[in-house]
Amino acid sequence: MLKNTVAVLAFTFLFFTCSTHDKNSESQFATVDLHLDIENDESPILNTKNQVGRYGPTTDQNDTSISKKDKKILGLFLGPSLYKSIDSIDVLKCFEKLDMNVNIISATGFSSIVAGLYAQGDSPETIKWKIFKTLRKFKGLKPYSEEWISIWNEFVEKNISLRKLKKSEKSLWMPRFDKGTSEVTYSSKGNLISSIKDNININEASFPMKKNFLYQSSLSSMPVDRLIVINTIPDNFTLKQSDGLLLGMYGKIISKFKKITNNKVLVINVKTDGPLDSERIISRKRNIVPFCNKLEEVL
């Protein structure tokens, strides 16, 4: 009798242990840390003449072919990180090298500009060149100042076309704050140019970065089978121009990334150095092949 009781208790313990493990596995999102190694931190890319092509400077020196895998990335979200959002351009380049198709792209903050350009069909090299020219021209401006917002609004109007967005094979979904529900929702409808501007205007009460744009039900509203979130904010991030408001805002954003519990989401933390507001990020030369190979392994 005692042996039977012990056997039943042991079976019950194993059953509930396995059940709990499976449940937790399904509810937790995957997080991967990948290092985007810097080849040269000092030399501006424009110093080398053979790096300047039709659309400006290329960003990696070893443009060797990478093995392709028949995988399909349906959704891509570029997290906000000021000028370090530019690091996500190298990630986009990896997707193209690996022949991975992005059907839906979304972003907030400065990354909205990157997402808008990519959604309308611009190549990663073209995106980097367009942003580089503006950063070089208006170097030293304080991020999210009135002048800064005005310059980048003008950039959006000049470089992102609503007509191209509508004709593109990639669908741009922008976060918007719904005053009725007090939640951030994602939509591909309406004036997407205005939505991009709203996502870089910190003075707006509906500025999505001040809200929980990573709310689970909001992310789930995007029609994707899988969503890849690119986070380019370092754990110990810094700002070249000290700003308590921005430090607090980006600190909260990092904590929100860690609270997602959605098994459709893969968060890739792109590890690089440098302040969030350093314009020199755009002028770094990188060999992205090792990073792309690592990215291929986790996708």
Per-residue pLDDT of the chain (299 residues; tens, 9 = 90+): 444 444 444 434 333 344 333 333 333 346 677 776 544 433 333 332 333 333 344 444 444 444 444 455 579 999 999 999 999 999 999 999 988 889 999 999 999 999 999 999 999 999 999 999 999 888 889 999 999 999 999 999 999 999 999 999 999 999 998 888 888 889 999 999 999 999 999 988 778 888 888 877 777 788 888 899 999 998 889 999 888 989 999 998 888 777 666 677 888 888 888 899 988 876 667 788 888 888 888 87
Report pLDDT for 288: 85
Report the 10 Å Cβ neighbour count for 204.
14
Report pLDDT for 30: 62
Residue (of 256, 258, 229, 270) closest to 74 by Cα position: 229
Provide the whole-model pTM.
Answer: 0.78
Report pLDDT for 215: 77
**Are β-strands 183-187 and 171-178 bridged in parallel, bridged antiparallel, or unpaired?**
antiparallel
Domain parsing of the chain, residue ranges: 29-59+69-298
In whole angstroms, give the CA distance from residue 167 to residue 188.
13
In whole angstroms, give the CA distance from residue 227 to residue 223.
9
Report pLDDT for 44: 31
User: Is-contact 260 29, C-beta < 8 A?
Assistant: yes
Report pLDDT for 219: 79
Q: Strand order of the sheet with strand 183-187?
A: 30-35, 265-271, 227-231, 73-78, 102-107, 171-178, 183-187
CA-angle at 221, arms to 174 and 111, nearest 5°: 25
